[in-house]
Every structure is written in structure tokens, then in C-alpha cells.
């Protein structure tokens, strides 16, 4: 049997989330891609069929901005003094002491965490990106890997040439591509990357047809440094240089981009990471991004600040953001001071359509890489498919499948998961079977040993 035939199978269920809504239907997977996606019953031929009955079948989620390796620092930020910078005071110090093998071992653990939330594709941005790509390959997670480029600051500034070479090596690696792992070009942030390096990054992106993935204006310090170094705010500097027109840019955070500058970013995609932002800054005003016509998607950032890799929780937070305005607005302050409930306190909550939210972790991030479509159950997309057990107490009864995904605690109800056409874990027990596997135990033990050694080197 050829390799392609080995990976050919059909998946059928009563509820399949097609690009235009939920219906009974089936998918055909082959060679790591979805090759057919149809409503109704599957044909009765000899292609192997997984009939999931009443289950809900969706695309696996796409996490458009993360640092898998930072799962190793989960919970550490809580020991910092209140005014400390998580990135500069803690992460940089530890990251300077990381060995490449540490990145591979820790990234595997982050990859497992992502998979168990139903995520099938991550956009990772980290030092030693070739190790991140290898880790995703080890575990079976699809990825867009951006080796972190720095030359002005940060622990990667000694390794700029290596990171550029790693980007090209990942982009050209046919074995990785076959595993659903491709490259993006990853300038770290506007204050750690010179004009010369950003120019090289964009030139590389043009030459290899890759997107650029970077942090943009994530702190007040970055904003101030940009003014000092370049005489322009972060967004204005990048737009003025012409880089945003030359390659697609995907920017995490963009907290310090004022409204008049947002139109400069209309050809880019912004990434909101609400739970991480609650820890290191404050949640992005995605409503303003929408008003200014800037496309945006949703991601977790990383377990070191989040501390979860579960994307669906981010959607629940976003769906309730409008109500927060009432909590902290003048009408409620007036009421707390003894006044009448003001008009702003009536109907403060607005719940966006679940499908509109889900598209920000499905199709929208799934079309950001020209070489890898994902987040949709349409022919041609990566065969990343999640199957949810709707009889599970976390989801029952399924009055609204889409709302169950955005608001329910459905991770425990992950019934089956296919990434790049391959099943991960056992059907009916994805989490338990992965947890009990010898491979997981070997990966965890290695990560455990390396983390202990890292903490010792860092004197923690
Ligand atoms: Zn980040």
C-alpha cells in the first residue's frame, strides 16, 4: 500500500461543521489533506470509514501565536514583584540559559497541551526554531514555525545568522512540509530588531513566499523605544519603510497602536491573546480593530503567561468583553456611589455570533500561510479534524453546537483528533491514551530533567 493510500480514510457524523454551517456529512482525507467534503451519507465503497454517529466534527483549532517551549515556565510569573516585566525580567534571563535540546523537550510538552485542547496547527515563534519544528514533528502537531530574529536586544541577538538560516532550512525541508510543518519569518519585536534586520526578514519572506510573524507594540516601553530610536511609533515605522506592503505580516498584541494608525495595518492581521494579556498588560480592544477595518484572529500566546493552551477559553472571554465596559464605566461608578442604575447598565452584554468567534480560531488564522490552508473542512485544507463527544456531560445537551464550542468546557469531550490526516491518541480517549503512552512518558521525563537543570543554572 502506498503512503498516500495508508492515510486515506473517511470520517462521517451527524453534525459536521462545514464552511457554511453544521449538517450531516462526511470528509475524505488523503495524503494529509482533505480531498472531499460532502453533505449526506458517505459512498459505500472500500475506503476505510470512521462513522462517529452523533458526534460533532469540526476543524482542529488554529493557534495563531504561541511559544510552545514556554510551557516550561507555566506559573513562574506569579513569583515576580508587581512592577516587573515578565518578558524582560524573567523570560530573557531564563531564555539566555536555554540549550537547543531544552527547546525541543519543552516544545513537545507545549505541543501535547495544545493538542488536548483540540488545536491542530500552531504559529510558534521562538529561539532555536529548528528544535521547535523537530518537537512538533516528534509529537504530531502541525506548525508554522518562526525562528526568533533579534539583533538589538534579547537573548537571540547573538544568533541572528543562525535563526535566518534555520528559517530557510525549515521552509525548504520536504519532510517537515509532509508533516504539516512550514516556516514563517520571525522578527521578534520592533524594539529588538534593527531596520537592517527587518529589511532582511522581509526580503527573505518575499524570496520564499513566507509570511512575517512578529510582536508589535506589546508594551509602553517598546512604544517609547521606537520613538527614541526611529523617531516614529512602532506601526508608523514599519509602514513608512514599506515592509507591510511587501509581505503578509501577522502581528501579536498591537496594544500600543493608536486609532489613527490602525488603518496602516489593514493589510496585516493582528492577533489578540486575551488571557495572556490579562497577565502581562491588558486585553486588546478588538472592537476598535474591527471598527478600523483591521483583520484579527485569536491565540493563546503561551502557557508561561496564560497559563492555558486552550483556545476556546479565549473566545468565551472575548464574547463577554462588551459587558466589562459596564463594570468599569461611569454609569456603574455612579450607581456604586449611591445613584440610580444608568442607561449603560441595561443590556450591557452583547454576545457575538458563535460562528463569527469560531472563525477567528478556524478559517481566519487558517488562511494566513500561502503554503498551508487549515481551519476549514474544505477540500485542499490540511486534514486537521477534531471530533467532540456530544453525549459527554461537559457538552450535553447539544442545543447549539457552536455555542458549546465557544462557551462550554469541551476539552474533556475531545473524542478523536486527526492532524495532517493521522489520528492522535485513541478514539474515545484522546487525552487518557496520550497521557498513558510510553512516548509521552519519555518526553515528559526528558523535559522534567532538563527543567530541573535549567532552574539550577538560573539559581531558581
Ligand atoms: Zn508572544
Between CA 34 and CA 331 the distance in angstroms is 51
pLDDT over 50 (residue 1): no
Average of per-residue pLDDT across 229-238: 97
Distance 416 CA to ligand 1 centre (A): 29
Q: Are strands 269-272 and 119-126 parallel, antiparallel or unpaired?
A: unpaired
The least confident of 10-24, 343-357, 421-435 is: 343-357
Domain 3-59+375-424 in this protein, CATH class = mainly beta
The residue ranges of every structural domain in the chain are: 3-59+375-424, 61-321+351-359
Element (H, E) at 193: none
325-363 tens-digit pLDDT: 899 999 999 999 999 998 889 888 887 889 999 999 999
pLDDT over 60 (residue 3): no
Distance 312 CA to ligand 1 centre (A): 18
The yes-or-no answer to whether 3-59+375-424 and 61-321+351-359 have a common fold is no
pLDDT band at 27 (very low <50, low <70, confident <90, very high): very high
Average of per-residue pLDDT across 202-219: 98
Distance 300 CA to ligand 1 centre (A): 9
97-115 tens-digit pLDDT: 999 999 999 999 999 999 9
Distance 172 CA to ligand 1 centre (A): 25
Distance 378 CA to ligand 1 centre (A): 29
Between CA 336 and CA 355 the distance in angstroms is 36
Distance 125 CA to ligand 1 centre (A): 7
Average of per-residue pLDDT across 210-219: 97
Top mean-pLDDT range of 82-96, 120-134, 300-314: 120-134
Between CA 279 and CA 85 the distance in angstroms is 10
CA distances from 366 to 127, 136, 215, 361, 380 (A): 23, 17, 19, 8, 12
Quick check: 98 and 454 in contact, CB under 8 A?
yes
pLDDT, averaged across the chain: 94
Note the pLDDT of residue 4. Answer: 55
Distance 276 CA to ligand 1 centre (A): 9
370-406 tens-digit pLDDT: 999 999 999 999 999 999 999 999 999 989 999 999 9
Place of cell 525580567: 89
Q: Can you read off the three cell numbers belonging to residue 57?
A: 466534527
CB neighbourhood size of 53 (10 A):
11
| Topology classification of domain 61-321+351-359 | TIM Barrel (3.20.20)
Between CA 336 and CA 22 the distance in angstroms is 44
CB neighbourhood size of 147 (10 A):
30
CA distances from 234 to 198, 225, 298 (A): 12, 9, 21
Distance 443 CA to ligand 1 centre (A): 24
pLDDT over 80 (residue 80): no
Distance 67 CA to ligand 1 centre (A): 6
Quick check: 123 and 214 in contact, CB under 8 A?
no
Amino acid at each position: 500500500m502506498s503512503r498516500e493510500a495508508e492515510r486515506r480514510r473517511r470520517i462521517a457524523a451527524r453534525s459536521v461543521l462545514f464552511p457554511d454551517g453544521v449538517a450531516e456529512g462526511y470528509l475524505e482525507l488523503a495524503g494529509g489533506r482533505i480531498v472531499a467534503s460532502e453533505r449526506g451519507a458517505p459512498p459505500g465503497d472500500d475506503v476505510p470509514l470512521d462513522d462517529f454517529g452523533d458526534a460533532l466534527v469540526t476543524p482542529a483549532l488554529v493557534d495563531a501565536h504561541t511559544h510552545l517551549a514556554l510551557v516550561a515556565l507555566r506559573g513562574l510569573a506569579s513569583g515576580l514583584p508587581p512592577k516587573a516585566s515578565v518578558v524582560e525580567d524573567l523570560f530573557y534571563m531564563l531564555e539566555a540559559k536555554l540549550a537547543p535540546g531544552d527547546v525541543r523537550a519543552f516544545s513537545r510538552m507545549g505541543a501535547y497541551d495544545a493538542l488536548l485542547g483540540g488545536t491542530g496547527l500552531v504559529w510558534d515563534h521562538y529561539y532555536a526554531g529548528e528544535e521547535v519544528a523537530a518537537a512538533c514533528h516528534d509529537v504530531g502537531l502541525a506548525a508554522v514555525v518562526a525562528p526568533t530574529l533579534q539583533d538589538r536586544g534579547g537573548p537571540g541577538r547573538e544568533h541572528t545568522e543562525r535563526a535566518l538560516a534555520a528559517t530557510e532550512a525549515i521552509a525548504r525541508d520536504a519532510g517537515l512540509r509532509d508533516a504539516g510543518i512550514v516556516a514563517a519569518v520571525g522578527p521578534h519585536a520592533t524594539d529588538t530588531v534593527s531596520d537592517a534586520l527587518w529589511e532582511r526578514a522581509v526580503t527573505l519572506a518575499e524570496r520564499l513566499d513566507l509570511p512575517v510573524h512578529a510582536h508589535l507594540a506589546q508594551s509602553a516601553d517598546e512604544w517609547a523605544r521606537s520613538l527614541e530610536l526611529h523617531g516614529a511609533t512602532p506601526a508608523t515605522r514599519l509602514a513608512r519603510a514599506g515592509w507591510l506592503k511587501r509581505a503578509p505580516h501577522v502581528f501579536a498584541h498591537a496594544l500600543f497602536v493608536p486609532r489613527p494608525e490602525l488603518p496602516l495595518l489593514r493589510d496585516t492581521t493582528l492577533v489578540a491573546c486575551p488571557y495572556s494579556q490579562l497577565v502581562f498588560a491588558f486585553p486588546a480592544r478588538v472592537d476598535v480593530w474591527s471598527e478600523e477595518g483591521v483583520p484579527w484572529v485569536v491565540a493563546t500566546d503561551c502557557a508561561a503567561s496564560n497559563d492555558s493552551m486552550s483556545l476556546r477559553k479565549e473566545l468565551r472571554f472575548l464574547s463577554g468583553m462588551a459587558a466589562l465596559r459596564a463594570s468599569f464605566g461611569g454609569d456603574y461608578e455612579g450607581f456604586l456611589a449611591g445613584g440610580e442604575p444608568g442607561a449603560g447598565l441595561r443590556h450591557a452584554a452583547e454576545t457575538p455570533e458563535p460562528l463569527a468567534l469560531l472563525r477567528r480560531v478556524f478559517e481566519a488564522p487558517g488562511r494566513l500561510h500561502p503554503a498551508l490552508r487549515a481551519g476549514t473542512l474544505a477540500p485542499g485544507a490540511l486534514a486537521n479534524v477534531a471530533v467532540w463527544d456530544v453525549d459527554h456531560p461537559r457538552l450535553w445537551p447539544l442545543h447549539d453546537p457552536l455555542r458549546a464550542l465557544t462557551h462550554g468546557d469541551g476539552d474533556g469531550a475531545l473524542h478523536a483528533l486527526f492532524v495532517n490526516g493521522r489520528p492522535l491518541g485513541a478514539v474515545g480517549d484522546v487525552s487518557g491514551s496520550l497521557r498513558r503512552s510510553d512516548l509521552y512518558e519519555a518526553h515528559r521525563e526528558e523535559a522534567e530533567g532538563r527543567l530541573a537543570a535549567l532552574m539550577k543554572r538560573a539559581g531558581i
